[in-house]
A = this chain, B = another copy of it.
């Protein structure tokens, strides 16, 4: 089965094509702008054929979301492998998050549009399982950092606090930040400088609050941040400006 028949090739290519067209429609015209009719028209096949690939419009969106999630997870895994203190490694996750948002804005946009129950509820179980599998592998990479921090003595948590709670805090900070930022008037109504600073500062405060050593007062995390970009994400090095505003 190593080699595909021409027909199988065509089908595989078409699946890619549908996703690419779908992504464009989703980015350019939002969720309501993505319709099966439009996809069919754009790829010059009939609607029925599109339904052969995806069971519903939501299924297309979910498939796009999964691609996005895989990309984010890959970046997080690279970040988690940074060689440095455990707190630098968790900082690397924050950096990866920021780079993901700024360097793959299309993917990031899709995360906001597609990670909704309304979408996945109309999707075949395999798709849902696929999503859960990737999310789980992401969480594992993150929890491992906390576990390492505890064994290294950089962090000591009360008995009743599970490892994942710390990462969960960072995650909620990020999700909340991007949710609020995505609707313009929210940040507008606050006298807050837009961009990355508020989130970065809240990361620092939360980790300091948990007592994750070395504390921000004892270490130059801006320097760490630059080092992380240079070592882990050299392809984005030139874009250090992403952190400036």
Chain A interface (Cβ < 8 Å from any Cβ of B): 30-32, 115-118, 120, 128, 131-132, 135-136, 139, 161-162, 164-165, 168-169, 171-177, 179-180, 182-186, 188-193, 198-199, 201-202, 204-210
> Which residues in B have their C-beta under 8 angstroms from that of A180?
168, 171-172, 175
Is A179 a contact of B168 with CB atoms below 8 Å? Answer: no
**Would you list the 4 A-B pairs with minimal beta carbon distance, nearest first?**
A172-B176, A209-B209, A176-B176, A205-B209
> Which residues in B have their C-beta under 8 angstroms from that of A31?
118
A132 CB contact (under 8 Å) in B189, B201, B204: B189
Is B118 a contact of A185 with CB atoms below 8 Å? Answer: no
Can you list 22 A-B pairs, Cβ within 8 angstroms, ordered by A?
A30-B118, A32-B118, A117-B184, A132-B185, A132-B189, A135-B185, A162-B193, A164-B190, A164-B192, A168-B192, A168-B202, A169-B202, A171-B176, A172-B199, A172-B202, A173-B176, A175-B176, A175-B179, A175-B180, A206-B206, A208-B208, A209-B210
A169 CB contact (under 8 Å) in B30, B164, B189, B205: B205
Cα separation A199 to B165 with both chains bound (whole Å): 9
Question: From residue A216, how far is it (CB to closest CB) to chain B in Å?
Answer: 8
CB-nearest residue of chain B relative to A129? Answer: B185
Is B169 a contact of A173 with CB atoms below 8 Å? Answer: yes
> Which residues in B have their C-beta under 8 angstroms from that of A188?
132
> Which residues in B have their C-beta under 8 angstroms from that of A161?
201
Additional A-B contact list (11), CB under 8 Å, known A132-B189, A135-B189: A30-B118, A115-B183, A117-B184, A172-B176, A172-B199, A176-B179, A179-B179, A205-B209, A206-B206, A206-B209, A207-B209
